[in-house]
Amino acid sequence: MKKLNILIVCDSVNNQIGGNFISPLRFAEMLKKRGHNVIFLASKYDPGDDITYYNGIKIYRTKPLPLPSYGDFFKVAAPTKKEIDKIMKEEKIDIVHLMIPLLASIRSVKAAKDNNVKIVAHSHAQPENTFYNFPKFFRNEFLYSLEYKYLTWLYKKAEVVICPSKFSERMLKRYCPDLNTFVISNGVDLSRFKQTNSDKFVKKFKISKEFKNILFVGRLNPEKDIGTLIKSVPFILKKEKNVRLYIVGGGFLRPELENLSKTLGVEKNVLFLGKLSDSELVGAYNSCDLFVLPSLAELEGMVVLEAMACKKPIIIANSAASASVDFVQNNGFLFDPENEVDLTKKILKLLEDPKLMKQMSKNSYNLAKNYDINESINKLEGVYYNLLKK
């Protein structure tokens, strides 16, 4: 079949932390491996060239609008329609794939329609996630509904909306039942994320094998509720002395979370590793005994899939706004959100039962095989080609 020219509209490419920015990169890399010409339209984060490259993928970088986000500045791409028209013509774009529902996506819709280019939108935004980064006053159903209405207004301009989970699809269809959606998991690269030797990682980060190690991976932001996980550590240590919690990821809450561990007197048992590369992430998963995600809002939970692929049992917050709940199927436990006492019980239940841990590790891997990223790419290619037939 014809190889496609695909324009992915994603404000941040290799500049911000988060699954909504990592997933487009991984999809782009897989599509490129299959021979497609993948191009990004993104924001310019640093002074320099208007065109850059990431692993051989061309990135058109346009003037930014800096907005406060995650304690730093998230730069919203602000291309003119004329700039987008030029890219579409020069690159002979077949498909425009909207990832981040902001200004660049709105203008790309207009340009795509004028150039007779098919539009795919991707559901990467979640109001519950957005407003956890604001004071509690803003966390209410009225504001959630306003964002959902905006999202569906934009998504209706696309021929199809890709949802990373059935949960994500359900949430959108509450506000727009006739939205044309298609569920495609973000997937996990089973050739990369797998059970493997972690000696190199253990040596580099001085991970002690004498301890039972708990792992969290994600942004250090309010919606991830890492505080609850840290608060569970003193309770765990009353029963299990040799336990350490490793926190992987960056975010503006790191100083506050470090202070919390000191206040609780567990700073020697709570270690912050910062942002890691994919190869280092594989080492982190393989050096831990179990994975915990206390997050209160998730559209899927890529890190959960990665942990499962590395044969780790999982413990997930049973939050109504988290799709990750659906991953718990005899491979771990759910716990009451924002409840460190219940979380402690679930962690100890696993740590104190090696036989159960082993069985749940095996179950995790068997479930992860259902989310192979290659199958996700097959489905995405199918969506693209079906649109071009119309």
Task: Answer yes or no: pTM beyond 0.85.
Answer: yes
Residue whose C-alpha is closest to residue 172's, from 200, 147, 138 = 147
Query: Helix, strand, or coil here: 314?
Result: strand
Q: Are 343 and 335 in contact (CB under 8 A)?
A: yes
What the chain holds in terms of domains, given with CATH numbers, is: 5-187+372-389 (3.40.50.2000), 199-371 (3.40.50.2000)
Q: What residues does 271 pair with on adjacent strands? A: 246
- Each residue's pLDDT tens digit, 193-204: 999 999 999 999
Q: What is the pLDDT along the chain (390 residues), one digit of tens a residue?
A: 899 999 999 998 877 677 778 999 999 999 999 999 999 999 988 777 788 999 999 999 998 886 655 455 678 899 999 999 999 999 999 999 999 999 999 999 999 999 999 999 999 988 888 877 777 778 888 888 999 999 999 999 999 999 999 999 999 999 999 999 999 999 999 999 999 999 999 999 999 889 999 999 999 999 999 999 999 999 999 999 999 999 999 988 999 999 999 999 999 999 999 999 989 999 999 999 999 999 999 999 999 999 999 999 999 999 999 999 999 999 999 999 999 999 999 999 999 999 999 999 999 999 999 999 999 999 999 999 999 997
Contacts of 213 (CB under 8 A, 6+ apart): 207, 243, 244, 245, 246, 287, 288, 289
Q: Are 347 and 239 in contact (CB under 8 A)?
A: no
Give CA–CA dist 244/288, Å, rounded.
9
